[in-house]
Structure 1
């Protein structure tokens, strides 16, 4: 197969999905991983695709200046810590002994899960930092997602896997951006993993500090109407509060002082 034909097939693959892994591409172009990575580099240089960890994503077509990009987990840990800790405390108050929970990767979810380390709960997570900490310091029942480790977002994911054989009463996840159209995320792997996990939970609970409102990211994850509860800090504007409640979302405001509303 010629290079031109490989490139065409790779671009065709992105028409119906936001991300394609190297393994996905191997199946359609019948080439070695080394050849595929060289093709990815050429397509990225030409602006036809975005090179991301583990594969390619559709090229961005432009957008407002407040569009955000994915930060590494270690960098996110340093941002908005006091608000995230307050949000984590409110989230922990929603958990009952015996609950089965899905906790997504992300710095706010990490702080939240630490509060459950020695609780009588079952936790499924795709977060490698969280799994390592709970292994060392916790006694809760832990189920870890299988697949490859993607170090930038800190998650474990297998592009070939379907939804996990784990069913939860609550799915806790963070957000990179929240707009009137719903939640958005930059990293395509996070989008695909979230879509699978949504099929295995009764209630979706979003942990998002107020900085996330008004931002935009590349890929939609879910509409606001899919969210049951959203926990944020007292920096939330009245307009964004109305946006959430109009979508039927229960809003909990976390305050670093310990006040509850």
Structure 2
């Protein structure tokens, strides 16, 4: 197989997904990992793809307003704290003793999981800050994702991961941006991790404060129709509320008050 043939196959694979790992590329290209990494470097240099940790991602398309990039977890913890606490409180009310839950990384999910620390629940998480806190201060059953630590958002991820041997009734996750096209995320590794976890959950519950509806991110993580319930604060606009209910999503509005300040 020639270099140009390999490049065509790699680009064809990327058209169907936001991210492809080296292992994904090996499944369609008959070449060694070293050769594939050299090909990635060449494609990145031409602007055809973006070279990211563990593989390649679609090139930046541009043209969207209010585009956001991933903030460090510690920075996100300082934003919209009252709204996030109110959302976390509503989310905790959806959990029953004995539930098996997947809780994704993110500052709102972190606050939510703290309310479950001493509940009779089983939690699977890829959040290093959350796992550390529940280990020190909780009694709930905890299962951790395996892989390497992606430090800024504080998640653990393996580019070669398979869906975990953990099955949940509910998958709680945050959102970087929400548009009519679906939930969006700027980092392709977070997208891929979410795709794996979606295969192991019955219901998807999104925790997103209202500012997320005015943003755009690089990659679509899932369509709105995959979301069962979305919890947001009372700053959501009528238009965005209608967008969600038209997609069949149950919307819960968390009322912020002095108890969450």
- CA shift for structure 1 position 244: 1.3
Partner of 1:210: 210
Counterparts of 1:29 and 1:129 in 2: how far apart (Å)?
Answer: 39
- CA shift for structure 1 position 147: 2.2
Gap change, CA 1:181 and 1:9, over 3 Å in 2: closer
Partner of 2:237: 237
Q: TM-score by structure 1 length?
A: 0.87
Counterparts of 2:38 and 2:166 in 1: how far apart (Å)?
Answer: 38
Partner of 1:74: 74
| CA offsets 1:101-155 (integer angstroms, 9 cap, x no match) | 1101111111111111111110011112211211122110001112222223322
Moved more, 192-201 or 15-24: 15-24
Contact 1:9-1:29 at 8 Å conserved across structures? no
Gap change, CA 1:5 and 1:225, over 3 Å in 2: closer
Counterparts of 2:239 and 2:248 in 1: how far apart (Å)?
Answer: 15
Q: Any gaps of 5 or more consecutive residues in structure 2?
A: none
How do residues 107-126 of structure 1 correspond to structure 2 at under 5 angstroms? Answer: 107-126=107-126
Moved more, 243-252 or 207-216: 243-252
Q: Any gaps of 5 or more consecutive residues in structure 1?
A: none
Contact 1:10-1:29 at 8 Å conserved across structures? no
SS in 2 for 1:213: helix
Counterparts of 1:245 and 1:8 in 2: how far apart (Å)?
Answer: 41
Counterparts of 1:5 and 1:72 in 2: how far apart (Å)?
Answer: 39
Partner of 2:133: 133
Matched, 1:146 2:149: no
Contact 2:65-2:215 at 8 Å conserved across structures? no
Counterparts of 1:71 and 1:52 in 2: how far apart (Å)?
Answer: 17
- CA shift for structure 1 position 210: 0.4
Aligned length: 258
Counterparts of 1:29 and 1:107 in 2: how far apart (Å)?
Answer: 41
Gap change, CA 1:3 and 1:153, over 3 Å in 2: farther
Gap change, CA 1:29 and 1:258, over 3 Å in 2: farther
Moved more, 173-182 or 16-25: 16-25
